[in-house]
Amino acid sequence: MADADLVVLGAGAAGLAAAHFAGEAARGEGLRILLLDGAKKPGAKILVSGGGRCNVTNERVTADDFFGGPPTIVRKVLRSFDERRTRAWMAELGVRLKLEPTGKYFPESDKARTVLDALLRGVESTGAILRTGARATGIERTGDEFAVALQDGSRIVARRLIVATGGLSLPKSGSDGWGLAAARRLGHTIRPTTPALSPLVLKPGRTLAGRFADFSGITIDARLALHGPTGKPLYAWTDSTLFTHFGLSGPTPLNMSRHLLQARADDPSGGWRVTFGHPDFPAPADAEEWLRREADRNGKRLVSSALSSIFPERLAQAYAGTDGRLAEMDRARRRELATAIAALEIDVVSDRGYSFAETTAGGVDLREIDVRTMESRVAPGLHLCGEMLDVDGRIGGFNFQWAWATGYLAGRGAARALAP
C-alpha cells in the first residue's frame, strides 16, 4: 500500500500552490497529501523575491510576457488561473495586496514573509502535511505508483506525484536542477537551459562602452537591443538600467539576458550584437537630427552641456569626450556621437550565472504536458509545475503568476484524478 495518495516534491511557490489546491479539491475525501522539501526552511526564494517584498503578480498578465514554450499553451494555463484569481486567492489567505504604479502587486506589509506564512497556513488548513529536510534523490515508477527515495535512505511510495522542485536559479535555495534530471530520466525532453533575468557582465576597456564601471550606481532609462547576424533587431526592451562595477543590472538588462543567452546557446557563432541606446532616439538618425537642431539653436553651447539635458552629468561628460562647441562638430563626429547615443555597441562577456539569475530559461518541454492538469503525457500519474517547465516570464510578478497557475492546475488535477 502507498504511504501517501499524493506527494508534492518541492515547497516553493509552485509546490505550495499545488499542495494547497490539491488539499482543497480533496477536502472531505480523506486523501493523504504529503509536501516534501529538501531545505530545512521552505520558501527561500519567496523570501528574497522582489527585494524582500515579493512581487506576487501583475496588473495585466498575457502570454506575451513569457518566453520559451508555445504561446498557445502558455495562454491556456494563464486563462485557467489568471491574475484576478491570484488576487482573490491571496485575499482568501489573508494577504492584502497593493498595486504599484509599475503594475506590480506587492503585499501591503511590504514583507515577503507575509506571503510565505499565509501560503504555509493555507497548506496546513487543508490537512496536507509538510515535511522539511526531506531531499529527494531518486524517483522510480513501481507499477501505477511512484517511489521517491530520500537522502536519509528512506522511501515514500505515492499513488500520484507532483514535482515542483524549480529550475537552476539561486542554487543555494536548494533548487539546483535536480528535478530536471529526474524528469529526463522519466522520459521527458529538457529544452536547453540558461539563466534568465540575470545581470550582464561587460568587457571593461578605455572606450565609452568599456567604461561602465565609471558610471557605477547611475540608473537611467535605456533601450537594449539584440541584433542577429543580419543586423536586424530581434528583441528590444526599454526600462530602467543600473550601471555596476561589473556591467549592467536592473529591469532592462535582466529582461534582455535570456534572449542573448538562449541565442548564443542556439548558435554560438551567430554574430549576436547588443546595443545600448537612449530611449528618446530609436535610431542614430534621430539623435543626429537632435544634435543638428541643438547646434542651430545655440552653436556656442558645449556638447557636454547639451548632452546633460538627456544624460546624467557623468555620462554626458563621457559621451562628449574631449568636448567642444556644438557648432564646431563636423559631420563625421556628429554621426559618431549620434550612433553612440542611440545604439552604442556593448561587449557582453557573459551573464552573472544562476547564482544571480531570478529564473531559468528552458526546461521540460511544454508539449509533453497536458496543461489542463499539468500531467505528464510521458509518465502518467506524474504532474510537473513551476520554474522547471520551459517557460520564463519577464520582470514584474510574471514568474510567480506562472508558479501559482501551474501549481493550481497540477494540485487540482492530481486530487481529482485520485478522488474515489
Ligand X SMILES: Cc1cc2nc3c(=O)[nH]c(=O)nc-3n(C[C@H](O)[C@H](O)[C@H](O)COP(=O)(O)OP(=O)(O)OC[C@H]3O[C@@H](n4cnc5c(N)ncnc54)[C@H](O)[C@@H]3O)c2cc1C
Which region among 22-30, 74-82, 164-172, 234-242 touches ligand X (by CB under 6 A)? 164-172
Residues 384-403 that bind ligand X (CB under 6 A): 386-387, 397-400, 403
Helix (H) or strand (E) holding 235: strand 233-243
How many helices and strands (H and E) does the chain possess? 12, 23
Nearer to ligand X, 52 or 271 (CB): 52
Kindly state the DSSP code that residue 192 receives in the 8-state scheme: E
- Which residues lie closer than 8 Å to 161 by C-beta, 6 or more apart? 6, 7, 9, 139, 146, 148, 381, 382, 383
Question: What torsion do the CA atoms of 217, 49, 264, 226 make, to the nearest 10 degrees?
Answer: -50
Shortest distance, position 236 Cβ to ligand X, whole Å? 22
- Which residues lie closer than 8 Å to 356 by C-beta, 6 or more apart? 195, 198, 199
Binding of residue 50 to ligand X (CB under 6 A) = yes
Nearer to ligand X, 139 or 342 (CB): 139
Count residues contacting ligand X (CB under 6 A)?
39
Shortest distance, position 134 Cβ to ligand X, whole Å? 6
- Which residues lie closer than 8 Å to 65 by C-beta, 6 or more apart? 58, 393, 394, 396, 398
Nearer to ligand X, 165 or 252 (CB): 165
Shortest distance, position 373 Cβ to ligand X, whole Å? 17
**The only residue of 34, 164, 224, 338 in contact with ligand X, by rule CB under 6 A:** 164
Binding of residue 165 to ligand X (CB under 6 A) = yes
Nearer to ligand X, 11 or 90 (CB): 11
Nearer to ligand X, 339 or 406 (CB): 406
Nearer to ligand X, 315 or 403 (CB): 403
Shortest distance, position 130 Cβ to ligand X, whole Å? 11
Binding of residue 272 to ligand X (CB under 6 A) = no
Shortest distance, position 356 Cβ to ligand X, whole Å? 8
Shortest distance, position 335 Cβ to ligand X, whole Å? 41
Binding of residue 54 to ligand X (CB under 6 A) = yes
DSSP strand pairing (4-9 vs 129-131): unpaired
- Which residues lie closer than 8 Å to 218 by C-beta, 6 or more apart? 242, 243, 312, 314, 315
Shortest distance, position 231 Cβ to ligand X, whole Å? 33
Q: Helix or strand or coil: residue 389?
A: strand
Shortest distance, position 329 Cβ to ligand X, whole Å? 44
Nearer to ligand X, 11 or 31 (CB): 11
Which region among 6-14, 245-253, 302-310, 317-325 touches ligand X (by CB under 6 A)? 6-14
Nearer to ligand X, 184 or 300 (CB): 184
Cell of 208: 565609452
Which region among 4-12, 62-70, 223-231, 293-301 touches ligand X (by CB under 6 A)? 4-12
Nearer to ligand X, 35 or 342 (CB): 35
How far apart, in whole angstroms, are the C-alpha atoms of residue 324 and residue 204? 26
Classify residue 264 as exposed, middle or buried by CB count within 10 Å of its CB (0-12, 13-18, 19+): middle
Binding of residue 37 to ligand X (CB under 6 A) = yes
CB-based contact 167:360 (threshold 8 Å): yes
**The only residue of 65, 351, 358, 375 in contact with ligand X, by rule CB under 6 A:** 358
- Which residues lie closer than 8 Å to 162 by C-beta, 6 or more apart? 6, 7, 8, 9, 15, 18, 19, 22, 374, 382, 383, 384, 385, 410, 411, 414
CB-based contact 59:87 (threshold 8 Å): no
User: In this structure, is the dihedral angle defined by the CA atoms of residues 73, 77, 80 and 84, taken in order, positive or negative?
Assistant: negative
**The only residue of 6, 23, 26, 38 in contact with ligand X, by rule CB under 6 A:** 38
Q: Which residues of 273-309 are buried (b: 16+ CB within 10 A; e: fewer)?
A: bbbbbbeebbebebbbebbeebbeeeeeebbbbbbbe
Residues 118-137 that bind ligand X (CB under 6 A): 135-136
Residue 201 carries which side chain, given as an amino acid letter? V
Q: Which residue is nearest to ligand X (CB)?
A: 12
Binding of residue 255 to ligand X (CB under 6 A) = no
- Which residues lie closer than 8 Å to 180 by C-beta, 6 or more apart? 167, 168, 190, 193, 363, 364, 388
Nearer to ligand X, 133 or 321 (CB): 133
Residues 12-31 that bind ligand X (CB under 6 A): 12-15
By the criterion CB under 6 A, which residues form the site for ligand X? 9-15, 36-39, 42, 45, 48-50, 54-55, 135-136, 164-166, 169-170, 173-175, 178-179, 358-359, 386-387, 397-400, 403
